[in-house]
Amino acid sequence: MSRPLTDLLAELRACTWVDLTHAFEPGIPHYVGFPDEERTTLFHFDEGVGTDGSGFLAHRYSHIGQWGTHMDPPAHFIRGGRFQDEVPVTEMILPLVVLDARDRVAADVDYAADTALISEHEAVHGRIPDGAFVALLTGWAERWPDADAMQNRDAAGGAHYPGWGVDALELLVHERGITAIGHDTTDTDPGALVSAGTYPAETCILAADRWQIELLANLDQVPPAGALVVATWPKPREGSGFPARVFAIVP
């Protein structure tokens, strides 16, 4: 006999739930090529704001799809790749693995996650499970919401922040069979590469028909292994990206 769903719900509620999502608003850190959010109050309870005393509050939000903590589907970079509405709900709850690269980033702000980081993680926590969501914890979320601190530009204007290396992503995709990745930075690639106009890591992961979440929060509150991640987003037809609500369930 199968267990009652109420028992399962009780077990889930007894877990620790960690919100991995930044609240978004105008002025938050974002990819430098994108415009800022514009938000307009169209209806308001009070007279003189929006319509006169409409009795309810409603805003118009104008922002790029890749805004705040957001999901990128393969179609964001790959012509013919899956759009946002084509990613099934079965991919929205996954085993969560957190690769902690904070020590490496402290030593090298331009660090790109490599296979050595994965090997060290697996030596302690076991093999990354098939179908996992693998998140890169760099410590960069501590700089939120300071856009200048997130970009960390040098005197010449070049950005310096960590990201993924292609070798690590190829291992995760082809040898571990992961479903998705995430990170606490604005971009998949390290800032120096983004400043140079190249995106090898983002191209690699999206070309492999995987999706990603950028600008994750609170990864330091999640264990390296053993948790679940739930990643949800709206369903725009042929959507190329949208803000997401992401959280971890920790036993």
pLDDT of 57 reads: 87
Question: Is residue 110 very low, low, confident or very high in pLDDT (cuts 50, 70, 90)?
Answer: very high
pLDDT greater than 70 at residue 230: yes
pLDDT grade, residue 44 (50/70/90)? confident
Tokens 């964001």, residue located: 76
pLDDT at 155: 97
Per the CB < 8 A criterion, the answer to whether 139 and 113 are in contact is: no
- The pLDDT of residue 111 is 98
pLDDT grade for 53, boundaries at 50, 70 and 90: low
55 pLDDT more than 90? no
**Tokens standing for 69?**
């903590």
C-alpha 22, offset from chain centre: 10
138-160 pLDDT tens trace: 999 999 999 999 999 999 999 99
Q: What is the pLDDT of residues 159-215, one digit of tens each?
A: 999 999 999 999 999 999 999 999 999 999 999 999 999 999 999 999 999 999 999
Report the 3 state secondary structure along 17-40: EEECECCCCCCCCCCCCCCCCEEE
Cβ neighbours of residue 39 closer than 8 Å, sequence gap 6 or more: 25, 26, 59, 60, 61, 62
- Give the pLDDT score at 220: 98
Q: What is the pLDDT of residue 30?
A: 95
Whole-number pLDDT of residue 251: 94
> CA nearest 176: which of 213, 231, 134?
134
**Average pLDDT of every residue of the chain:** 95
**How much helix, strand and coil, in percent to the nearest 5, is found in the chain?**
25, 25, 50
- C-alpha 101/C-alpha 117 separation (Å) is 7
| Residue 166 phi, psi (nearest 5) | -65, -35
Residues 68-108 have pLDDT tens digits of 999 999 999 999 999 999 999 999 999 999 999 999 999 99
The predicted structure's pLDDT at residue 47: 64
Q: 51 falls in which pLDDT band (50, 70, 90)?
A: low
Distance CA 244, CA 163 (A): 20
Query: Domains of the chain by range and CATH?
Result: 5-31+66-250 (3.50.30.50), 37-63 (no CATH)
Q: Provide the β-strand partners of residue 246.
A: 231
**What's the confidence (pLDDT) of residue 45?**
82
Q: Supply the pTM of this predicted model.
A: 0.94
Of 29-33, 103-107, 124-128, 220-224, minimum mean pLDDT range? 29-33
